[in-house]
């Protein structure tokens, strides 16, 4: 269907296609606010057809833009799965080292002959240098930060989420949804033609 001859009707249809309510679309099209008239105009066949056409065109544009981006960035299922695998199978030990060291301290606090010997455990945390870390582990890191006292924070991307996504892609998980009607009764189905739907909406 081409652009509607009535400019206000075309504007009304365009605003509806953007997701506006009939009242808002009616006002945006330049009409004096009137809920009844807005609702009636929305139900007209040419308006409904034009809105459907605009929505279909928008989906086509988005799909083509997505396809173009996919081609440009060389995005493939294999590449997406590879990136998810980096996260899902990441080992934090490849990004950071930590160890406890037992240190013996000797002290003579009173200056006398008594020697106090203490065994103290110190914890040492060390990040792997950015030029030494492997690409897969680097791809799994979401955040690295250091506070004012020298404390280090390393956060990996969501491993569980990545593994679930991989599992779903491989068909390892089956999602089940049960639907029932009112009070648990079977769902009642009704078959109507498009004309019958329009007729019932018009009242």
pLDDT in tens, 16-31: 888 899 999 999 999 9
pLDDT in tens, 73-112: 677 788 888 888 899 999 988 988 888 777 777 777 666 6
pTM for the predicted model, two decimal places: 0.42
User: How many C-alpha atoms does 148 have within 13 Å on its Cβ side?
Assistant: 0
Q: What confidence score (pLDDT) does residue 151 get?
A: 80
Domain spans, the chain: 7-75, 80-169
């Amino acid at each position: 269907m081409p652009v509607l001859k009535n400019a206000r009707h075309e504007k009304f249809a365009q605003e509806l296609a953007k997701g506006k309510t009939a009242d808002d679309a009616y006002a945006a099209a330049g009409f004096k606010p009137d809920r009844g008239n807005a609702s009636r105009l929305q139900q007209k066949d040419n308006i409904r057809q034009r809105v459907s056409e605009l929505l279909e065109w928008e989906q086509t544009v988005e799909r083509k833009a997505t396809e173009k981006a996919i081609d440009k960035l060389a995005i493939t299922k294999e590449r997406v799965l590879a990136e998810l695998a980096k996260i899902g199978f990441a080992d934090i030990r490849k990004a950071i080292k930590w160890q406890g060291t037992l240190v013996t301290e000797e002290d003579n606090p009173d200056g006398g002959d008594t020697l106090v010997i203490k065994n103290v455990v110190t914890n040492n945390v060390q990040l792997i240098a950015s030029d030494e870390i492997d690409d897969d582990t680097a791809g799994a890191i979401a955040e690295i930060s250091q506070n004012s006292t020298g404390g280090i924070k390393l956060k990996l991307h969501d491993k569980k989420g990545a593994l679930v996504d991989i599992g779903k892609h491989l068909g390892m998980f089956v999602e089940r949804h049960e639907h029932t009607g009112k009070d648990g009764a079977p769902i009642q189905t009704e078959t109507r033609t498009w004309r019958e739907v329009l007729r019932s909406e018009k009242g």
